[in-house]
Amino acid sequence: MGWDAEPVGRAGTLHGRFEEQARRAPEAVAVRCGAGELTYGELDARADRLARHLVAVGLEPGSRAAVALGRGTEVFVALLAVLKAGGAYVPLEPGAPDPLLRHVLTEADPAVVVTEESHRVRLSDAGGRAVVCVDSAAGAVAAQPAGPPTVATGPDDLACVFFTSGSTGLPRGALIEHRNLLAAHRGWRAVYGLRADDRILQTASLEFDVFTADWVRALCTGATLVVAPRNLTLDRSADIADLPALVAAEGITVLELNVRTARRLRAHLTASGGALPGVRLLTVGAEKWYLDEQLGLQRLLGPDVRVLNVYGLAEASVDSTYFDAAGATGGEGSERVSLVGEPFPGARVHVLGPDGGPAPGGAVGEIAVAGAGLGRGYLNRPDETARRFRPAAFDPDGRVLLTGDLGRVREDGVLEFTARAEAVVGPVDSVRATDVVKRVTAAAAAEGVLRSHPAVREAAVAEVEPEPGRRALVGYAVTGPEADGADAWSLSAHLTKRLPAGELPTAVVPLPALPRTRAGKLDRGSLPLPAPRDSTGPRTGKGGSGGSRGHKGGGGKAGGGRAGEARETGLTGCGWAFLALPFALAAWLLTDSFWPGSTDLSAVPDTYSGWFRILYLAEWVSFGLGAAFLVAGPAVIARYGRPPGLSIAAHLSVFWLLASWWPQDNLYRTSSPTDWPRQAVLVYVFNIALMAAALIVARFLAWRPPSERK
């Protein structure tokens, strides 16, 4: 039977496909971790015996078994054993926090837990289920007869349950069948060109869907799966410099990384001048990855390495689309877009409008995925299954998964990823609502502009709730250690110059690092709130990352420059004085030429003449400052982030409020009190204009962006 045909019976299962490889090349190395390795024949035989043992302790066909084992070869024995016993595995990281372990075990309610003695206590206190520790049960397992248990399984049987939390909420179990993952495997095989001589590196944690994707790609192809000794997703202390060395030592040809790890790798290779010798394919996913990042990594690795940006959800068997950087060009704007390309064979992608039907070409809408990789739905959550897995007359299968992500199909047919809506605006009734799409699109545009600043390494823009009932769009930026002067205010000015006033974040908060979830994705709930308007805390530099985990109550505030608050321009106080001085001197020297006798104090008693001299000096200085503000004031005004028209009016108003006293008072002093036409002109040119200027400045200061008016 050809691999591109729809398999039936045991051949249509994951373990059946693995068994084909074991029969074809039993001596080939199947999995390797450090010094330990198992051949296909050894892995198959050990999985058969453990499967018989699991059946003996109560794992029935169609039931679930939690697998909680550390990194090594034994975890693959356990996963295959559960499948051979007719069960579905629930991958569970044994080192996960206790609340997460309890939640998954309660939701999944597995009949058996497969683990090690060192984890028995933590995993056996959530119910009376059987616990099989592969180390202490090794003798009993070895005593089982050879060959798999006699269990009938097929393509439509449940293979695994991925617990995924998305952007918010507790993890929910996505139900994935054998046929779903085998359909994904056919797509990977076609796009990646998977071969039996490939050596595929696994860096992910057991609990994440990409862990399963890695072993399915390798063991259903006949390739070798090499497990990285360090978990690069969860182990934040792992040295990225170890990755290229491991790749070279193990002869890796294919690997997948999450976006955070790919960024670290790119920075390391750039600094060290290193490479990934022997690698022919690198895929990156799990988060928004910008085109300039993809192209930059492609240039570093060279034309012999394919660098793909992949997109998908666990509910649809991990990957649905991919974009190949080969032949792509960057140019201006590449730092603002993320291209996720075209569907894998067997997958389909739609962009939906507000009414739930296909959106017009080029319009931003909710991404929906469909095809043979689409799972059953969610465990124990019929309402959420009905909400996310929707009937769709426009799809050949009549069923799509609503991803909660926004994107658009460009004129060239390439899918562009905009953002995960709830990661930007929080929970909403419909991410396709026009208002939500507009808010998310504005945030995504601001994020792209923010990260285009040369000093910014990572950026995020999200709506937060600085105080109850008020939502605000806030930017967060991680700058490099060499980025002197890239403070909150300069970043706000960068945005102000490039975005419409109504789409500006109200503040930019510099952070040493963006908060991350266990999966390495942006943790929106842990983003700090910007400092309040009357804060006397730090307004420049690397604002602290401390703050409340949520956005609805008290907690720490991070320093941040607002796109609507002033501070000094590049001019210091002495700089302003130096700029104003020539204009003030000019006013002093020209006063008697323009208005002869205006400053003549010969008839004024000595008691009062000194006061008038101070007045004349104040008029000259005020004129000098006004002229200086006319020249240097735009930079100050721009920092407030007001609409362009209001900004120009405020700039000219401040100039007039300062500079007009010199001509006004001199004209009044040299005009006849009974020259009514002249007096009327002076009143309207100066007095009324000054009132109008004051009103404009008041309006300018009171203006609030739309995001703060809600």
pLDDT at 564: 41
Closest CA to 48 of 177, 150, 132, 129: 150
Q: Is 420 helix (H, G, I), strand (E, B) or coil?
A: strand
3-state SS, one letter per residue, for 598-653 = CCCCCCCCHHHHHHHHHHHHHHHHHHHHHHHHHHHHHHHHHCCCCCHHHHHHHHHH
Question: 10 Å Cβ neighbour count for 125?
Answer: 11
Closest CA to 372 of 351, 352, 399: 399
pLDDT at 682: 82
Looking at residue 12, the DSSP 8-state letter turns out to be G
The band of 584, judged by pLDDT with boundaries at 50, 70 and 90, is confident
Q: 371 to each of 190, 365, 376, 395, 396, how far by Cα in Å? A: 16, 19, 12, 9, 8
The listed range with the strongest mean pLDDT (163-177, 403-417, 655-669) is: 403-417
Query: Tokens standing for 253?
Result: 């040809």
Closest CA to 442 of 506, 523, 522: 506
Say how far apart CA 520 and CA 540 lie, in whole Å.
28
pLDDT at 472: 86
Q: 219 to each of 92, 146, 609, how far by Cα in Å? A: 20, 21, 99
Window from 16-25, 406-415, 499-508 with minimum mean pLDDT: 499-508
Percent of the chain with pLDDT over 70: 89
Q: Which residues of 513-532 are buried (b: 16+ CB within 10 A; e: fewer)?
A: ebbbebbbbbbbbbbbbbbe
Q: How many CA atoms lie within 13 A of 421 on its CB side?
A: 23
Query: Tokens standing for 600?
Result: 């003549």
Over the stretch 681-709, which tens digit does the pLDDT of each residue have?
Answer: 888 888 898 899 899 989 888 876 654 55
**Amino acid letter, 203:** T
Over the stretch 73-88, which tens digit does the pLDDT of each residue have?
Answer: 999 999 999 999 999 9
Percent of the chain with pLDDT over 90: 56
Does the pLDDT of residue 309 top 60, yes or no? Answer: yes
Please, are residues 294 and 325 in contact by the beta-carbon 8 Å criterion?
A: yes
Over the stretch 31-77, which tens digit does the pLDDT of each residue have?
Answer: 999 999 999 999 999 999 999 999 999 999 999 999 999 999 999 99
Over the stretch 189-209, which tens digit does the pLDDT of each residue have?
Answer: 999 999 999 999 999 999 999
Arithmetic mean of pLDDT over the chain: 87
Question: 10 Å Cβ neighbour count for 165?
Answer: 15
Q: What are phi and psi of 106, to 5 degrees?
A: -70, -45
Say how far apart CA 132 and CA 213 lie, in whole Å.
25
3-state SS, one letter per residue, for 218-248 = HHCCCCEEEECCCCCCCCCCCCCCHHHHHHH
Query: Tokens standing for 607?
Result: 């008691």
Window from 91-95, 279-283, 550-554 with minimum mean pLDDT: 550-554
For 113-182, the DSSP string reads EEE-GGGHHHHHTTSS-EEEETTTTHHHHHTSPSS-------TTSEEEEEEE-TTSSS-EEEEEEHHHHH
Of residues 427 and 160, more confidently modeled = 160
Query: Tokens standing for 474?
Result: 């806030």
Average of per-residue pLDDT across 423-448: 90
The band of 549, judged by pLDDT with boundaries at 50, 70 and 90, is very low
Please, are residues 638 and 646 in contact by the beta-carbon 8 Å criterion?
A: no
Average of per-residue pLDDT across 93-111: 92
Q: Is 39 helix (H, G, I), strand (E, B) or coil?
A: strand
Burial class (CB in 10 A: 0-12, 13-18, 19+), 630: middle
Does the pLDDT of residue 562 top 80, yes or no? Answer: no
Closest CA to 311 of 391, 458, 416, 432: 416
Q: Is 454 helix (H, G, I), strand (E, B) or coil?
A: coil
Average of per-residue pLDDT across 422-434: 86
Does the pLDDT of residue 93 top 50, yes or no? Answer: yes
Say how far apart CA 357 and CA 352 lie, in whole Å.
5
Please, are residues 373 and 178 in contact by the beta-carbon 8 Å criterion?
A: no
Over the stretch 614-644, which tens digit does the pLDDT of each residue have?
Answer: 888 998 898 989 898 898 888 778 767 677 7
Q: Give the relative orientation of helices 14-24 and 74-84 as an angle to the nearest 10 degrees.
A: 120
Q: Is 325 helix (H, G, I), strand (E, B) or coil?
A: coil
Q: How many CA atoms lie within 13 A of 386 on its CB side?
A: 4
Of residues 643 and 290, more confidently modeled = 290
Q: 162 to each of 186, 231, 248, how far by Cα in Å? A: 20, 19, 32
Q: Which residues of 446-478 are buried (b: 16+ CB within 10 A; e: fewer)?
A: bbbbbbbbebbbbbbbbbbebeeeebbbbbbbb
Does the pLDDT of residue 567 top 70, yes or no? Answer: no
Looking at residue 96, the DSSP 8-state letter turns out to be S
Window from 6-20, 47-61, 245-259, 374-388 with minimum mean pLDDT: 6-20
